[in-house]
Amino acid sequence: MSNTANLELEGKTYSLPVVSGSENEKAIAIGSLRDTTGYITLDDGYGNTGSCSSKITFIDGEKGILRYRGIPIEELSEKSSFIETAYLLIYGELPDHAQLRAFSDLLTQNANLHEDMKHHFEGFPPNAHPMAILSAMINASSCFYPGLMGRANKERFDIHAARLLSQVRTIAAFSYRKSRGLPTMYPKPVYKYTANFLHMMFSEPYQDYQLKPEVVKALDLIFLLHADHEQNCSTATVRMVASSQANLFACAAAGVCALWGPLHGGANQAVIEMLQDIHESGDDGSRFIQAAKDKNSGQKLMGFGHRVYKNYDPRAKIIKVACDNLLNTLHVSDPLLDIAKHLEEAALRDDYFVSRKLYPNVDFYSGIIMRALGIPVEMFTVIFAIGRMPGWIANFKEILDDPKSRIYRPRQVYQGPTLRPYVSIDQRP
């Protein structure tokens, strides 16, 4: 197999190195292209661009494979927990007992926000979207812990990472309580990560939330399934910001903003809103499918399609089963689940979706689980953000640990006006 690719341009041949990944993915390294040829590559939306080499997550979109640090998502979701998986993503290996205990202790010690941060929550209007609060408050954290400012050095990385992972959940719960005019609940050291989040969301000063193991397990699974997904929009954003040597909290706040959009993490909220609309309109989904196929309708089948998966998203498969199990265990019957299943069946029979290889993605069923857990719809993307935090931190660390890391700075093909003079205001047409 050749390890160079030849490019012919204006009668000359240029050899470009071919790079192979550990799963035999092939890439043409074009780092010298502009210097040697004067040309750059153009790849709108980065569909064909490898922006980095990474050892964290592997996806084979054609086969529907997802692995964190080599371990299949199916195995992790059956045998691991969110926090153990977070450790795996960030540090590269599954922890032993002592490492896991030390990591959990660090999370517990860092769960509380700086007390003065509470005043900031007062400044948001009651209907503020929790994603806006989350991003703002993550960024504000760096003001309260001056050690966070500047680039995290390697010695301080563990504490910064633990603080972020632990506090994102505290900030998320506080923002929900604030938006409902409810008193904030402090984290309790006796609870593990996910149980503590549910406690901060739903306990009252006069009554602790009754934690059901199946509820904790279902939410832990949701976090775990969202924990990383290689170079998606928000993770690429985190890496972009990290490449300028901004601090970890600034990078994560940027990641939250990128995640918010309905084509990315915001899709989980959009899916439930779509299912609710279909339910209220009395449609079984057929009319909606017709509209989603019509480019002029401005509608898409939310929770369907993926840039990388051209097969069933493995996370969606796991979530669909978990969704059925949870609803059965809790004796919940949700009409939106029936509509979602009907939509899926209809879409997977329809040539429009089949020919474009559009399958349900992670967001299609996750909202139905979250509804059953009592999580309000405006918090769905926040749950995604909590889950994605280990992936963002792991990607940040990869840049931090790379002595050759350079600032990310794409180029462009300029299509604007060519040179022209400035015209003073009274002479403009």
Q: Using the rule CB under 6 A, which residue among 108, 179, 232, 235 binds ligand CMC?
A: 232
354 touches ligand CMC (CB under 6 A): no
Q: What b-and-e string marks burial along 128-150, b requiring 16 or more CB atoms within 10 Å of the CB?
A: bbbbebbbbbbbbbbeebeebee
Packed helices 267-281 and 335-349: angle between N→C axes, nearest 10 degrees: 100
Q: Is residue 306 among the annotated active site residues?
A: yes
Q: Give min distance, CB of 81 to ligand CMC, in A.
A: 22
User: Near ligand CMC by CB under 6 A, which window of 116-124, 198-206, 258-266, 392-400?
Assistant: 258-266
- Strand partners of residue 12: 9
C-alpha torsion sign, points 230, 231, 233, 236: positive
Q: Is residue 363 among the annotated active site residues?
A: yes
Count the site residues for ligand CMC by CB under 6 A. 20
Q: Which is nearer to ligand CMC, 202 or 304 (CB)?
A: 304
Q: Which is nearer to ligand CMC, 163 or 371 (CB)?
A: 371
Q: Using the rule CB under 6 A, which residue among 81, 363, 381, 389 binds ligand CMC?
A: 363
305 touches ligand CMC (CB under 6 A): yes
Q: Using the rule CB under 6 A, which residue among 267, 337, 343, 399 binds ligand CMC?
A: 267
Q: Which of 284, 276, 386, 368 is nearest to 330 (CA)?
A: 368
Is residue 228 a contact partner of residue 68, using CB atoms and an 8 Å limit?
Answer: yes
CA–CA gap between residue 21 and residue 98 (Å, rounded): 33
303 touches ligand CMC (CB under 6 A): yes
Q: What does the block give as tokens for 319?
A: 């979530």
Q: What does the block give as tokens for 396?
A: 């940040």
CA–CA gap between residue 201 and residue 348 (Å, rounded): 37
307 touches ligand CMC (CB under 6 A): yes
Site residues for ligand CMC, 84-143, by CB under 6 A, read: none
Is residue 38 a contact partner of residue 48, using CB atoms and an 8 Å limit?
Answer: no
367 touches ligand CMC (CB under 6 A): no
Q: Give min distance, CB of 232 to ligand CMC, in A.
A: 5
361 touches ligand CMC (CB under 6 A): yes
Is residue 313 a contact partner of residue 360, using CB atoms and an 8 Å limit?
Answer: yes
Which residue ranges make up the site for ligand CMC (CB under 6 A)? 45, 232, 263-265, 267, 292, 300-307, 356, 358, 361-363
List the catalytic residues.
306, 363
